[in-house]
Every structure is written in C-alpha cells, then in structure tokens.
Structure 1
Amino acid sequence: MRVRGATGVSTSADDPATVIESAGALVWRVRDGGLQVQLIHRPRYDDWSWPKGKVDPGEALPTTAAREVTEETGKPVSLGLPLPGLEYLTPEGRVKRVHYWAATRVHSRSPAVTARAPVPPVDPAEIDDVRWLGVDEAAGRLTRAADRIPLEALIEEHEKGRLATTALVVARHGKALARTSWHGDEASRPLTPTGHAQSAALVPVLAAFGVDAVVTSRWRRCADTIEPYSRAARLESLPSEYVTEADHERSPSRVAALIRALLEAGAPSLLCTHRPVLPTVLDVLGQHSRRSVASALPTKDPYLEPGEALVTHVTQSAKGPRVVGVEKVLPPLH
C-alpha cells in the first residue's frame, strides 16, 4: 500500500492496461461541535468505505469525485481540500490509484449543480446504507485500515482550522488564434477550435468545485472561455477591464486589489485572465498563503497552459483570508 500526496491534480494518462484511476471524497460536516463524516456500505463486498469510483473516459479527476459521491450518496457535493490518496495492487495485478478530496454538501439548485450532467439515483444493489458518523466511530467502522489515512488528514485540517474552505479558481483562457494570424485588434482575437473544446472541458471541473461567481477579462478569448460555464450554470459573468493584458500593464495594482477582494469575499469564484497577468495574480495569492502552499504555486512562464485552471482553497481566518491548498487541473479533451 502506498500513500499518494495531494498537492495537485494530474490529468495525464498512464497505461490504462495497468493503471485504474478512481476518485472520491470524504464528505464532512460539524454537528454539536463534533466533526462527522459520511460512510457508505456496499453489499457486494459487505464493507464500509468512502464514496468513490472509476474515472469515465474524458473525465478530470475532480469531476469523477463529485459525480461518484452524488451517485453513491444521493446528494451533490462541492469539493474542498485535496487529501492523501492511496495506491495499491488489485487481485488482477493492476495498479489502482484513488484520489480523495474533502467535500461538503451543496444545494441541488446551486449554480454549480445546475451546470453538472444528470446523475442516476443511488442503486441499492451497489450502496445499501449511507451513514453520518463521528470521526472516531468512522475510523473503527472502516473495513480497510488504509482508508483511515485520508480521514486522519481530514481531522488534522479541521483541528488546525483549515478544513472549511471555498475555491478561488484562476483559469488561463483557452488556446487562441496566433497574433500573427489575426488582423483585427487584440481585444477581439478569438479562440481556436481547440480553445473552444478546452472551454467546454472546464465546465464540469468548475462545477465540481462549486463555482458560483465568474469574473473575466473583457477581451474576447477570455469571455468565450468562460461562456460555456456561465451558460450551463445560468450565471451572469462580471467582465473586468482590470485583468486585460493592456490594463494590467498600466495598473497591476488594480489586478492585485481585485484578487484580494475575491479572497476576502469567501465565495467559490472563477477568474479568467491572460498569461501576462498571472504573475501579479500569483504574487497576491502567495502573500496570502502559508509557506508550503506558496511554494507550490507556479513560478515559471507560462505559469498555466491554455485552458488550465489553478484551484486555490481559501479559508477565512482572524487574520484575513488564507490560501491553505492549491492544485492545477488541465481537463482532458474529449
């Protein structure tokens, strides 16, 4: 049994003949001052475990986690901090990797759930019991000892006041037409077909992290990148002049102020911007991060690939907002 770290999300594919990728979550809540988690019982194996399942073709890992939890518990969730995953050999000799997040329930009419694909009801032949348990009872109820590893991490984050988070997602716009191939003004340079595909691929990832507010550069390639999510979630995006390339060059301080405002708002949000703007964005995020998280932020140009998202997990502390986790997600194209 090997424990996998959870500082980031990789969507690169290993050999599917030998590696089974799966994802799930530890759904948590606080009741009467105590931390509780949700376990499922599978009659086929007669075991108690965390909701999880295999990655479907074309799915990013966070999308799988949110979908599988809903399929197995009957309730939609929003993903929070990544937790340690597990890696082990199946009886058939294949490597199985399980990726975990902390998660909380979200209302079925929230914008993020509206943006998700429909999920079938719980199949009682697969899951015949779902229970909320205190963490000590849950640790004793889990069938496999290794499943206590992500639970221990969840408890530690709770004890340190870092478990209750919201996501601030920073996305670089999808692949755009080359400057040399475009004869219009820079603000209207469009996405390529690949860029449009990347925009569509972002939708289920943003939904998995519960995004319910969207801020974007006014320039076309950014506005078009977030349009599929805004449409699916039935959200009005907030276009901003501050995060265009030209306005950032004139006043980086306005970009910094916008990022601070988004951090302080404490709402699951998306910012879509351009590569030259990212150093300012990352600098502000680093100023609000603990050291280990700041060191995990991208440091080399291009910082994010076209269509890639940086998911930061933000908690509100007595000293203001703190970034307590970060992961990069590049959704696979169908």
Structure 2
Amino acid sequence: MVSTQPTAAAPPAATMHTPVVMTAGALVWRRRGGELQVQLVHRPRYDDWSWPKGKLEVGESFQGAAIREVGEETGKEVVLGRPLPGLQYLTPDGGVKRVHYWASRRARKGHDSAALTARAPIAPVDRDEIDKVEWVDIAEAGRRLTRTSDRGPLDALVNAESEGLLDTRTLVITRHGRAVPRASWHGAERDRPLTPLGHGQAAALVPVLAAYGVEQVISSRWERCATTIDPYVRAAGLRPTYSEHLTEAQHERSPSRVAATVRELLEETAESWVICTHRPVLPTVLDVLAHHAPPAVASGLPTRDPFLEPGEALVAHVADTPTGPRVVATEKVNPPVW
C-alpha cells in the first residue's frame, strides 16, 4: 500500500533530532497533442523552477495542504490523483524538509463541482512568491527543474503514463468516527451516536474528500455512519445514498451484497465515491479491492483487525484499463482533528 509518508532516504544522522518541516504539493499534468505536459512554478526569491508545494498549516491534512498550495501558486483548482514518491532533504539552515506529492489534474467544471463546493476559496497568486507558471513537456521539465531530486516524482509520473495508469479516480473507504461505546448505550444499536471526538473526525474528513474530488456518497444507514459522512454531504451539496447492505446486521446475513456494491462502484461507474461503513464490514470491502489490484498493491491492504481506526479512511486509486478497473495505489489517511 502506498502510504502518505514520503518515500525518501533518511537524512544524515546529525539531523535526526532537528525539527522536521512537513510540506505537500502536486505535479499537475495534462495532455496536449497526445503528449504529456506538467506545470512548473518559478520562485523569484530563490530563482528556481520547482513543483508547486508548501508548508502545512496548523490542523491541516497533507491532502488539504497540497490542493491549497497548488491553488495559491498556480491560481487554479486541482484534484489529487495517485500518490508519487516524496522527498526529504536538508534546508540551507540545517533543518529537514519532507515533501508529500501527488499526481493531479485541473478540476473540471461540472465534473468536480461537488468537491469544489466543499472547499474554501483559493487565495490569489502572490507574485512575490511565484512570478511564473508554465506548462512544459516532460523533456523540458527534466531540464528546467533546479533541484535534481525533483525529477524523482516526475519519473514516477512518466512511468504511470507509459503504463496507461496515470488517469485515475478514487474510491474512498472510511470507517465511521468514534462512537459511544456499546456498553454505555442503552438504545437500539443502529441509533448509537458519535462521541464529540467522532464529530471532530467527521469534520476532518471534509477537506480530504474534497481534495480527491469525491462526487458521490454511499453509506450505511446506521446513525454513526450517516453522521460521519454528513459534514461532507452538506459542504458538497450532495444527495447521499444510504444502504442497509453496508450495516453490520445485513453484512452478517449476506456479505455477498456488500461485495456486489463495491464491485459495482469499481466496475460500473466513472465517478469518485466514498463508502462509509463499519469495522465488521471492512474485510469484505478490502477483499473486493484486493481482487482488482496487482499483487504488490493487494499485499499492502490492511489485514488485521480493526483494519481501519474510527474516522480513518483508505483511498483506492482506480485506473480504467482495457481489461477492467485496476486499483493501482492505496493510501491510509487519518485526518488531524483540532
């Protein structure tokens, strides 16, 4: 499984106790005349060409920071796709910087309207920070990038394109937020509510789902799932689908109906979805993902109970290939709660 932690060598031992600056960004891509192009930004302060990126704000997820920084540096909204190798390096002042990268595409009018509705407006481009934004072909990007290590994410992007696996959609699997313990609840199980922490986890999911361009929602009908997904439903202006098949009780009776629901979202839709369900249902959901993934990806899926912690999400990146949908990467995301 591809995690949200950057893939990079550790810094020299002398810096291991130095505070680490966490940043996030994206490689924005498009095709023109059948050729792949990427977007570079120029920073006049450093006179360098690089990928749009920046520091996380307090309480911000890596995904939220990535789309915010791309917006602030290019003036355009993007949707995150598959994760790319991250970087870790020393800064001129002796600190350590870690960068998380994703492939991303420009948001499309109409197609990504719900996700854009759920986001905060982007700030105007600060020309003192970024004075040039240019689309360049791959060869030119390799020559133009100032930092040699910035070519690592570019190579991964090009490899995904050559395999026909760059253009992806997402299927997000989330477990409901922290709920009142069963032993403390005297009502019906389907009505057991979230705790205050659970409500915070539900709110923290909003920028993450918006970053991945989630346009459709399907959830267990039970209270703790419906409440977990409700902040995103409201922020995005969506009409969710509630399914009895995704409840604990119905799953125990017929796991095959859960499997059929997940297969339908993988095989018969072209949109990005989020599924909100319960811990006992997750093994069936993950099994369907594994059957649509190559061994290297399937082997990284969670296999131990509880599979996902309350409020945690698994993001599956799905490419539509001539032989059917293929899960090409996954990420576990536990949004920060403040």
| TM-score normalised to structure 2 length | 0.94
* Structure 2 residue 92 is the aligned partner of structure 1 residue 91: yes
- Structure 2 match to 1:44: 45
Are the equivalent residues in 2 in contact too, given 1:266–1:314 (CA < 8 A)?
no
1:332 equivalent among 326, 329, 336:
336
1:278 alignment partner in structure 2: 282
Instruction: Select 1:214's aligned residue among 214, 217, 235.
Output: 217
Supply the distance in 2 between the matched residues of 1:235 and 1:243 (Cα, whole angstroms).
19
2:318 is the counterpart of 1:304: no
Q: Does 1:101 align with 2:102?
A: yes
Query: Could you tell me how far apart the structure 2 residues matched to 1:295 and 1:30 are?
Result: 32
Residue 205 of structure 1: aligned partner = 208
Alignment check: 8 A CA contact 2:84 2:153 kept: yes
Decide whether the 8 Å contact of 1:165 with 1:315 is kept in 2.
Answer: yes
Equivalent residue for 2:172, pick from 169, 178, 188: 169
Q: Secondary structure at the match of 2:26?
A: strand
- Counterpart of 1:9 (choices 4, 8, 26) is 4
Query: What displacement does 1:118 show?
Result: 2.0
**Partner SS state of residue 230, structure 1:** helix
Q: 4+ residue stretches of structure 1 with deviation over 4 A?
A: none
Q: Deviations over 1:76-135 (max 9, x none)?
A: 111011101110111211110011000001136611111012221111111111111111
3-state DSSP of counterpart to 1:24 = strand
Q: Which amino acid aligns with 2:183?
A: T
In structure 1, the partner of 2:319 is 315
Query: What SS is found at the alignment partner of 2:234?
Result: helix
Offset at residue 194 of structure 1 (A)? 0.4
Structure 1, unaligned runs of 5 or more: 1-5
- TM-score using structure 1 length: 0.95
SS in 2 for 1:191: coil
Aligned residues: 326
Q: Could you tell me which residue of structure 2 aligns to residue 116 of structure 1?
A: 119
Give the partner amino acid of 2:228: T
Aligned-residue CA RMSD (Å): 1.4
* Aligned mate of 1:243, from 241, 246, 263: 246
Equivalent of residue 237 in structure 2, options 217, 234, 237:
234
- How far apart are the structure 2 equivalents of 1:127 and 1:328? 32
8 Å contact from structure 1 (residues 308, 328) kept in 2: yes
Indicate the residue corresponding to 1:3 in structure 2: none
Pair 1:67 & 2:45 matched: no
Match of 1:156 in 2: 159
**Matches of 1:103 and 1:25 in 2, distance apart?**
6
**Secondary structure, counterpart of 1:194 in structure 2:** helix
Q: Distance in 1 between matches of 2:47 and 2:64?
A: 27
SS of residue paired to 1:58:
coil
Deviation at 1:276, TM superposition (A): 0.1
Counterpart contact for 2:216–2:271, Cα < 8 Å? yes
